[in-house]
Structure 1
């Protein structure tokens, strides 16, 4: 029997016979993308009330509610626990409490899905059992018919178009504000008062001094340690470190320039940098001078990863053989391995002028020269479990520079897991390095 689309039916008597019962038990779903003003969940609460009214008007009864508050449905990778539980219960046919579910009620399609993947998941779960219904304020829809699926696809296309247009409007709005020199929104920048235009006397003095000291050759970590000792905190309460200090002193705002999305803004007519409406801390030449002291991998034009860099300079090449190949083998409290990268740092003894240490858990450290020697032994030992280097490759290793040796190592080695050492043990244990070969 072919079932027509249920949109626009006036009462429960319009429901097909295979759906008709005294009360249809349905699940209610509500979602809102942002709840940043009142933070009380009023948006999803109002949707649930509308769902209750819709269910009552069409002879249904809400037996379970699923909520995703402050969760976007258009962003890739965004978790929606309520939506996932709804799909699980639809496939199972009942809630975790054992209540059977015969359909879903929602205020609009775009509350459920704004991505094709979610549309496919929802319809697969909803129609995993016969006799299910989908209900919105317009009435019943038959999810099993071709027309019902087409209407869902049309709703998805409308939601995608709306998301794209809204994103473009937001981007254009931010660009127009930026080109006029309006300060960044969000938390106030370090160095300025809450109005984002007036210099903060103490913080601005610290920023100016840090720029002068960095240009004179002082390490950023040393500046961060001094700020830490002074009790300086960021505008959101965090303690300073080398990365945050770098972001503060290389931000174009320190000299009055305006950036947007990691790029320095230029006046379209003149090509000159856009000047903001706030008080600068240093002159543009001082900002350019401090930016020149950083490599592209360390220079930030604004907060956040993936930021475009200002220069085309190449990142300095590693100075040690095992850099980038060592992973921490220490065990966390939950029983999992740390597996964080070990980075080279200055050592404290003549025997170990540098060491490889894990910055993630800070529980694993190994002598740099001995680790490099152990890695070389693993590569050249010719053991059954290790790589079989050709004579030509061995010759390249012996006569090659560090870059050549690292290239050879990378061709046969994924990484080495380093086991934590035993405190007080004097003998060097080469078995601490456990290689993973390609």
Structure 2
């Protein structure tokens, strides 16, 4: 690091500041990353550095596979280039802790490859300056990775055991209150409980679940998180075991150990078990309406697969009230026109939507026309894609091998023209020859 010592003699070392939080679902104000960035500023000054670029990923896990971190990917690209997009030189990274950067071996490898792509780089944290090229510096990073992986496994198992122990005791679910109950999750909500009871009766009587959802919308009903009810959410409410006082865990009905009796919950039921069984019987096994969450199995034990190539890959680019980007995952929903039979809508804020065919066309353009040299797919993949020989799953794998995500900028209200530049790519750094 002799060249770095020489650089210290002429001025402060220019470094990139990175911050990440795993969750921000309560305050939704980005305070976690904001506090980390302030600590990074202080650490940089103390260690003879100055922050020239800031990268942050708010509410994004580093331990779950498949989670795109745009800020992290953008920082790695700038490290490889040696400078920011506006030409500021970068000679290191400052962060509050290693586990903010990586918790998985794949991210560790990508980070260190980018950091050491050029000579004279440093890694800075509150404990001091680390030499990433030395054996001790690398061993220290590997030890932190091992500790992060172990902590993730232990914490995951501890949380799983905690939820299971609460479930077998009949304790209500944690998190936002369920629709139909008050904040204590035990006492029935005087208005919502009546709606659920009436919806169950209507469904057993043959009424379409979409019609029930429309009735709720006409009454001005909103979910416990403020969203408008639709057919899937209404179905999940009326078919949840909690409506008859039964406790479930991870979508599985719990039984009293050694018996075939369901575990009773500690809350007031809305309907008797016979009514709950009757309403569940109105849905066929594997019904899409009964699907709960992106990772939960249906009644057939099969996981639901996205039907559109952009689902989950597209991220919302609308701004929150605090000025930060939403970056929520966008999923496909039924559209209202022949030109756009389906649209991609943000699942978090619902403030950003884009025509499905427009977005898919933009993704294909990015894949084959705008991808940088290191991210281009083989000619074989291109021929199979354009020839119609690839199904949705294969196309999604091809896109994932090139793109970390795509940020969709909000459209202009009243402008019917298609603008492909609304879909802005975040390319991956290392891509294989085939998906």
Q: Which TM-score tier does this pair reach, normalised by the shorter chain?
A: 0.5 to 0.7
> In structure 2, do the counterparts of structure 1 residues 71 and 305 end up closer, same or farther at CA, with 3 Å as the change threshold?
closer
CA contact (8 A) 2:92 2:115 kept: yes
Within the alignment, does 1:67 sit opposite 2:42 as a pair?
A: no
Question: For 1:201, what is the secondary structure of its paired residue?
Answer: coil
Q: Which of the residues 122, 129, 141 maps onto 2:130?
A: 141
Match of 1:359 in 2: 334
Q: Distance in 2 between matches of 1:278 and 1:249?
A: 16
Q: Which of the residues 128, 143, 149 maps onto 1:160?
A: 149
Aligned residues: 318
Correspondences of 1:92-111 after superposition (within 5 Å): 92-111=81-100
Question: For 1:21, what is the secondary structure of its paired residue?
Answer: helix
Match of 2:245 in 1: 256
Q: Distance in 2 between matches of 1:164 and 1:63?
A: 35
CA contact (8 A) 1:181 1:276 kept: yes
CA contact (8 A) 2:232 2:290 kept: no
**Residue deviations 1:387-409 (CA, integer Å, cap 9, x gap):** xxxxxxxxxxxxxxxxxxxxxxx
Correspondences of 1:394-405 after superposition (within 5 Å): none
How far residue 43 of structure 1 moved from its aligned partner, in angstroms, is 3.0
Q: Distance in 2 between matches of 1:87 and 1:96?
A: 12
Match of 2:105 in 1: 116
Match of 2:227 in 1: 238
Q: Distance in 2 between matches of 1:292 and 1:64?
A: 57
Within the alignment, does 1:214 sit opposite 2:203 as a pair?
A: yes
How far residue 234 of structure 1 moved from its aligned partner, in angstroms, is 2.8
Match of 1:56 in 2: 45
**Residue deviations 1:208-243 (CA, integer Å, cap 9, x gap):** 233233323333233334334444333333333332
How far residue 39 of structure 1 moved from its aligned partner, in angstroms, is 4.2
Q: Which of the residues 160, 165, 176 maps onto 1:171?
A: 160
Q: Distance in 2 between matches of 1:97 and 1:21?
A: 25
Within the alignment, does 1:21 sit opposite 2:9 as a pair?
A: yes
Correspondences of 1:70-81 after superposition (within 5 Å): 70-81=59-70
Unaligned runs of 5+ in 1: 4-13, 314-323, 325-339, 342-357, 367-411, 416-438
Q: Distance in 2 between matches of 1:42 and 1:236?
A: 21
Q: Distance in 2 between matches of 1:202 and 1:53?
A: 52
Match of 2:259 in 1: 270
CA contact (8 A) 2:8 2:48 kept: no
**Residue deviations 1:52-83 (CA, integer Å, cap 9, x gap):** 33333333333333222322221223232322
Match of 2:21 in 1: 32
**Residue deviations 1:172-201 (CA, integer Å, cap 9, x gap):** 222222222122223322222232222223
Match of 2:185 in 1: 196
**Residue deviations 1:281-304 (CA, integer Å, cap 9, x gap):** 111112112212211122777842
Q: Which range moves more in the overlay, 181-190 or 245-254?
A: 181-190
How far residue 274 of structure 1 moved from its aligned partner, in angstroms, is 1.0
> In structure 2, do the counterparts of structure 1 residues 84 and 179 end up closer, same or farther at CA, with 3 Å as the change threshold?
same
How far residue 273 of structure 1 moved from its aligned partner, in angstroms, is 0.8
Q: Distance in 2 between matches of 1:163 and 1:188?
A: 27
Within the alignment, does 1:127 sit opposite 2:129 as a pair?
A: no
CA contact (8 A) 2:3 2:120 kept: no
Q: Distance in 2 between matches of 1:145 and 1:413?
A: 46
TM-score by length of 1: 0.64
Match of 2:371 in 1: none
Match of 2:71 in 1: 82
Match of 1:400 in 2: none
> In structure 2, do the counterparts of structure 1 residues 83 and 296 end up closer, same or farther at CA, with 3 Å as the change threshold?
same
> In structure 2, do the counterparts of structure 1 residues 37 and 120 end up closer, same or farther at CA, with 3 Å as the change threshold?
same
Unaligned runs of 5+ in 2: 308-330, 342-388, 393-435
